[in-house]
Amino acid sequence: MIGFLVRLIGIFVVALVSLSAPLVLAVDDAWQDESTCVTCHEAEIDEALAISVPEWRESIHAEYLVSCDACHGGDPRLEDADESMSEEAGFLDNPSWTEMADYCGVCHEAIAESFTAGRFGSAILEGVRVATCATCHMRDGHRIVASIPAEIVTSEICPGCPSVADPDRCVGFLREVRAADETLVANIDVVEAKGIDLTDLRGAAREIHEAFARTVHAFDDAAIDAARAQAAGGYEALGDRVALLDHEADSRRRFGAGMIAALTLLFVALLATLRKLR
């Protein structure tokens, strides 16, 4: 019997391996075709550009399939480098610091609007060099980071700003709100993994985060203080609801454990009865 099973599994494994090899290769080829931007720049045309591809692969942009052309324009289907990065193909290159908000605002519309209408946007209109989207969010290249550490506030980046002497005043509260957001989202993940759908609470958390982010990007101190208080209150209320549902998820599991214990007893009793019948 064991010999038979071994031979049967052997036939299956041989069939599986012989089928898998060509199919896996075919899938690998398909991955290479994804975008000529990626294939060329990954092939190290120059080091500075080549590094941007692996950075991008780790980014939230790659996660949401926002590829090079979404920001830089061009046609990623054309194989010729000059053609794919020509004016006719809609190539935009990198934006200047004055154009940055419009550039990122194609997708991040509300944030860009808030930024343009706010303190920094007004400064840009007056020709004053201030921090823009890339200053903070691309400080780690194309990985794109959301969190802003205090070290970023330097006199070089923010000349003339009083916060340079006390960077925590400028970015400390961001850390605090981000931590509240991350804790809530992590708790939501835990409860959802236990089988309770919290899409509505996740959406509510996102709304709090987006409202706060919009206010922050206007760089108005009074508005930021009000938004901080509102966000803190919002996260706390949502946190209480998540905790309640976590309790509910745990009671469901206890019910399940009880049912499994009862079924196990029944199973053992049936096996014992079967043994007697033999």
Partner 1 sequence: MSQWLERRTGFREFLKRHGRDFAVPEASGAGVSLGAILVFLLLLQLATGTLLLLYFVPDPAGAFESVHGLMREVPYGWLIRLGHAHGANWMVAVLFLHLFRTAFQGAYKDPRELVWVSGCVLFLGVLGSALTGYILPWSQLSYWATTVVTASLSYLPVVGTDLVHWVRGGEFVGEATYRRALTAHIALLPLLLLVGVAIHLALVRRVGLADRVRRRGEEVTGATVPFYPRIALRQVTTVVGFMLVLAASVFFLPNLFFPVDHLLPADPFETPANAKPEWYFLWAYQLPRLVPEGLALALEGIALVALFALPFIDRGPDRHPLDRPVASAAIALALAALVTLSVLGYLA
Site residues, partner 1 (CB under 8 A):
4, 7-8, 11-12, 15-16, 18-20, 23-24, 26-27, 30, 64-65, 192-197, 199-200, 245, 252-253, 255-257, 259-260, 263-264, 266-267, 270-271, 273-274, 277-278
If the CB atoms of residues 16 and 110 are measured against partner 1, the closer one turns out to be 16
CB of 258 to partner 1, least distance (A): 10
CB of 84 to partner 1, least distance (A): 23
If the CB atoms of residues 220 and 246 are measured against partner 1, the closer one turns out to be 246
CB of 106 to partner 1, least distance (A): 17
Tell the residue number behind the tokens 């080829």, with chain if given.
29
If the CB atoms of residues 148 and 191 are measured against partner 1, the closer one turns out to be 191
If the CB atoms of residues 9 and 179 are measured against partner 1, the closer one turns out to be 9
CB of 51 to partner 1, least distance (A): 25
Pick from 117, 41, 125, 116: which is nearest to 76 by CA?
41
If the CB atoms of residues 178 and 241 are measured against partner 1, the closer one turns out to be 241
If the CB atoms of residues 20 and 183 are measured against partner 1, the closer one turns out to be 20
CB of 238 to partner 1, least distance (A): 15
CA–CA dist 229, 84 (Å, integer): 49
CB of 66 to partner 1, least distance (A): 10
CB of 242 to partner 1, least distance (A): 13
If the CB atoms of residues 129 and 247 are measured against partner 1, the closer one turns out to be 247
CA–CA dist 75, 9 (Å, integer): 49
